[in-house]
Amino acid sequence: MKRIILFLFVITFVSSMSAQNAPIANDDFAHGQLGESVTINVINNDTHPDGLNFRVFMSTEANSFTDSTITFNLEYEDYYHYGENDTIAIPYTLMDENGNIGFESVAVLFLTITDNNYFDFLDVNNIRARIQASGLQFWPGPLGDNPTPPGYVSNNVFEFPKESGKQTIFNSTMWIAGKDESGNLKLAAERYRQVGMDYWPGPLSSNGTELSIEESTVIEWQNVWKLSKDQIIYHKFNWYKDDYEPIENIATWPAHGDAELNQAEFLAPFIDIDGDSIYDPMMGDYPLIRGDQCIYFIINDVRDHKETSGEALGLEIHGMAYEFLSPESLPINNTLFLSYKIFNRSSLNYVDTYIGLFTDFDIGFATDDYVGCDVSRGAYYGYNGNSVDGNGEPGTYGETIPAQGIVILGGPLMDANGVDDPDDQCDESINGVGFGDGIEDNERHGMSKFLYYNNDNSSVGDPQTAFDYYNYLNAIWKDGTPMEYGGNGHVSSGAYGPSANFMYPGLTDPCFWGTDEEEPYGPIDWTEEIVGNEPGDRRGLSVMGPFTFEPGTMERVDIAFVSAFPDGDKTDVETLMQYIDVVKNDYYEDPTYFGYQWLGVDDREMVITKSNISAYPNPVNNILTFSCDNIIGNSVYGLLNMMGEVVVNGTMEKNETTTINMESLLPGIYVLSVRDENNTYSTKIIKN
């Protein structure tokens, strides 16, 4: 983005000038990197018609200047989000030795940041979305007071359909909060970064109970890794060739932390072909990605929280956004998935922990929308409040308008109780995962609350303090009153009670789970239309929890962003709900490994543990005998060739010795892996 500021003092000087010539300044262009202090000699390309000496007289936005140079500090928190189309404009003014200044003496140093690869775009299906190593998604954050020049194309993107120039979401962020055992609130959350950030890129350094990250590390991890299924397949079948060079994002896949910085040993998931627990793409290892196209990033919350003033929890968050190219399934082709692994790297145990997903909907025109939620589907959504979107402005949908849904496919684990909680109850099983499947304590929260708040400073408006954010995660308004059924959720706006966890659910909560099984004191069907609201600028908060977040543990959150136009005689919202059903059914087939099916191998994103496998003889001619110490319960094993293909697989019991007949297999290197409920073990096998 470019801006040119002409200072008022120039006019004063010009009005009092004689007819003498003034120095002529020409714009300058330079590059720099985040965190650097850049000094540029700006007078090298400037001239004076009379050959007089001149100097830099003023540059109010430079950090400092001399007679010939301007110095500017590319502070991370100010310029982290500047991309290739965004330029910092630093005006300066020249004065000659006689004190002459003219309009022609004003120029601008345009400074562009290089190597800032903190975002990229998913675009393999019907949605084009900006994904970034940030607490924000889809929107880059505020660009200070730079005005938008004519013709500038905004970089905030959740474009549906792709290449239409129309968008359904402005911004989406994650909120996380809990209390330590002394009752102290810890919270990380972002909305628009108007007053600062709560999240930064990069993995944490751990020194005993102390967590830290240096700004140089933040800048180093100001990066995302975009990969496609086709790129992985090409690597799998060509890595061993003499002239092969992996693409950059395979070569630099952040599989491991820096041991010298005390970062975690294993970060981004990968397939370990040679079984040495070290990512080496030139030995056939490859990134383990989801979907047909993905973007991977790592963020954390361990610095000052300027957005919320909350205290850091000590979180390290691994994110993977992904899409499927699925022309045969319009619901899948209209969906973007986002999967988080949230690590509690601290030594603290957090209770009453909640994870929230905040979304600012803009269904085309920003100020004519409604929101609602579907309790049974674990979804909240935005839709147009008028029959026509906008008034013909660019980026509006007109008469054919989509609805946009966000689905909590699977949230954090519920606290263990030693039983397999039954399905089809009036409780978390309504939209959670893992109920009634015969497995103890694998139940995960779905959407447990939903609320909408206003874009103002009222008691039902924008949160200002950490406690405001935490109240909203508990469905409590800023003034301490609980959200209630009816009206707009507050006693001052027509709510008739009782206390409620879901706002605008319609008829999607027939057992009244959201009101603790108490029937509402007024009409049950509760939507924005029934309330009679005027459409406007809408945002919503979906909440998962509460749960206990123990130190050293990890929680998963799987989300789907589903978009839908009306289909036939169905409305946009009715079509959206049908699409959500398809997406959820696909996810429920294998919640743990969803998205990895095409790889044909087990998910190695669990902790890759150095080999506990005893295998002999090795090298082997015919029969391989092996066992695996310390496995938990029954396990599965697989023998993979160097292409990553499973050539033999089976199951084994704890303490069992197993054999594989390798007589018919080609000579070469194989990887034997054993996976139990918690870990994957692997070792290299050589076939003579």
Which is it for strands 28-32 and 106-113: parallel, antiparallel or unpaired? parallel
| Structure tokens belonging to residue 530 | 């029934």
Q: Which one is predicted more confidently, 320 or 676?
A: 320
Q: How many residues does the chain have?
A: 688
Q: Quick one: pLDDT at residue 610?
A: 46
3-state secondary structure of 297: strand
Radius of gyration of the chain from its Cα atoms, rounded to whole angstroms = 29
Q: Count CB-CB contacts under 10 A for residue 415.
A: 13
For residue 660, the surrounding DSSP H or E stretch is strand 658-661
Q: Count CB-CB contacts under 10 A for residue 539.
A: 21
Q: What distance in Å separates the CA atoms of residue 304 and residue 318, rounded to the nearest whole number?
A: 20
**At residue 7, does pLDDT exceed 80?**
no
Q: Which residues contact 451 (CB under 8 A, 6 or more apart)?
A: 472, 475, 483, 489, 503, 540, 541
3-state secondary structure of 624: strand
Q: Count CB-CB contacts under 10 A for residue 585.
A: 10
Rounded mean pLDDT, 544-554: 96
Question: CATH 2.60.40.3080 residue ranges in the chain?
Answer: 609-687
Among candidate residues 247, 151, 159, 44, the one with its CA nearest the CA of residue 563: 159
Q: What distance in Å separates the CA atoms of residue 65 and residue 58, rounded to the nearest whole number?
A: 8
542-547-553 Cα angle (round to 5): 110
* pLDDT range class, residue 9, cuts 50, 70, 90: very low
Q: Count CB-CB contacts under 10 A for residue 405.
A: 29
Rounded mean pLDDT, 522-540: 96
Q: What distance in Å separates the CA atoms of residue 637 and residue 624, rounded to the nearest whole number?
A: 13
Q: Quick one: pLDDT at residue 642?
A: 63
* pLDDT range class, residue 20, cuts 50, 70, 90: confident
Residue matched to tokens 């890794």: 225
Which is it for strands 680-687 and 608-609: parallel, antiparallel or unpaired? parallel
3-state secondary structure of 343: strand
Query: Residues of 125-153 as b/e, b for ≥16 C-beta within 10 angstroms?
Result: bbbbbbbbbbbbbbbbbebeebeeeeeee
For residue 548, the surrounding DSSP H or E stretch is strand 538-549
Please provide residue 538's backbone torsions phi and psi, each rounded to the nearest 5 degrees.
-115, 145
* pLDDT range class, residue 267, cuts 50, 70, 90: very high
- Asked if 95 contacts 104 with a C-beta cutoff of 8 angstroms, the reply is no
Q: What distance in Å separates the CA atoms of residue 200 and residue 223, rounded to the nearest whole number?
A: 11
**At residue 289, does pLDDT exceed 70?**
yes
Instruction: Choose which CATH entry (2.60.40, 1.10.3470, 1.10.10, 2.60.120) describes domain 8-113.
Output: 2.60.40
* pLDDT range class, residue 14, cuts 50, 70, 90: very low
Tell me the β-bridge partners of 109: 28, 90
For residue 588, the surrounding DSSP H or E stretch is helix 572-588
> What average pLDDT is seen over the chain?
90
Q: What is the pLDDT of residues 196-217, one digit of tens each?
A: 899 999 999 999 889 999 999 9
Fold held by 609-687: Immunoglobulin-like (2.60.40)
Whole-number percent of the chain with pLDDT over 90: 75
- Asked if 551 contacts 349 with a C-beta cutoff of 8 angstroms, the reply is yes
Q: What is the pLDDT of residues 366-384, one digit of tens each?
A: 999 999 999 999 999 999 9
Q: Which one is predicted more confidently, 191 or 4?
A: 191
Q: Quick one: pLDDT at residue 613?
A: 85
- Asked if 433 contacts 555 with a C-beta cutoff of 8 angstroms, the reply is no
529-535 long-range contacts (CB < 8 A, ≥24 apart) are 529/370, 529/385, 531/486, 531/487, 531/488, 531/494, 531/504, 533/370, 533/385, 533/488, 534/385, 535/367, 535/368, 535/369, 535/370, 535/384, 535/385, 535/386
Q: Quick one: pLDDT at residue 592?
A: 82
- Asked if 369 contacts 528 with a C-beta cutoff of 8 angstroms, the reply is no
Q: What distance in Å separates the CA atoms of residue 486 and residue 499, rounded to the nearest whole number?
A: 10
Residue matched to tokens 């293909």: 645
Q: What distance in Å separates the CA atoms of residue 234 and residue 464, rounded to the nearest whole number?
A: 50
Please provide residue 587's backbone torsions phi and psi, each rounded to the nearest 5 degrees.
-65, -40
Looking at this protein, which amino acid is placed at residue 686? I
Ranges 16-25, 83-92, 543-552, most confident: 543-552
For residue 528, the surrounding DSSP H or E stretch is helix 528-531
Q: Quick one: pLDDT at residue 87?
A: 85
Q: Which one is predicted more confidently, 193 or 668?
A: 193
| Structure tokens belonging to residue 498 | 């009782």
**At residue 677, does pLDDT exceed 70?**
no
CA–CA distance from 631 to each of 271, 416, 439, 606, 616 (Å)?
A: 20, 21, 18, 14, 19
